[in-house]
Amino acid sequence: RTHLAVLLCWKTASRWGEVAALNSDQITITENDVIIDWATTPKGRKANPFYPSRWAVIVGEEMEVIIYLMVKIGPFERLHPWRASDLAKQWKKEKGMAMYTAHSIKRGAISHLFHLMADGVEIKEELVSRLAKHGAQSAISQTTIRYGANPMDMARALKTAEVTKHL
């Protein structure tokens, strides 16, 4: 479970607490992607479920690992029982990990994306902010999202997969 949670933190540029609090029903696995629905986890999304960064679409090489690890989690089961402080305590016990915190994963993922952008990889800046759940506006308004009938289509239309493929 820890491997899965850390991997999801990296792929979605998320804090440990956001990912650990996910229930398995908030993660949809399809043939081509893995879609995370943050609707009930980050505080801002509880108040406004039609925010453009509500979903993260994961694509890339690690999808097989995510799918394999998700099979071990039951329906409506919380992804991981640890709080951020529990993860930090565990890392302090491991060689070479003592300097890291639960926020290090999100910071590392965002830094990696900026490094790729600086090296010329075309990544839209607003998609990095949207993936990181930092309030990036979308051409698709919250009102339009409210009327979208298929959440999976909305998730894909918001294009976070264009970023997660680089993580």
The better pLDDT of the pair 127, 45 is held by: 127
- pLDDT at 43 exceeding the cut of 60: no
How many alpha carbons fall within 13 Å on the CB side of residue 167? 33
Instruction: State yes or no: pLDDT of 128 exceeds 60.
Output: yes
Q: Which residues pair with 27 in a beta bridge?
A: 36
Which position has the token pair 């009327």? 147
Question: What pTM does this model have?
Answer: 0.85
The answer to whether the beta carbons of residues 28 and 152 sit under 8 Å apart is yes
DSSP string covering the chain, please? -HHHHHHHHHHTT--HHHHHT-BGGGEEE-SS-EEEE-TTSSHHHHH-TT-GGGEEEE-STTHHHHHHHHTTS-TT-BS----HHHHHHHHHHSTTTTT--TTHHHHHHHHHHHHHHHTT----HHHHHHHTTS----SS-HHHHHH-S-HHHHHHHTTTHHHHTT-
Tell me the two tokens of residue 54: 């509500």
Distance between CA atoms of residues 119 and 10, nearest Å: 20
Q: How confident is the model at residue 135 (pLDDT cuts 50, 70, 90)?
A: low
Give all strands of the β-sheet with 34-37 in edge-to-edge order: 27-29, 34-37, 55-58
Residues 10-34, mean pLDDT to the nearest whole number: 91
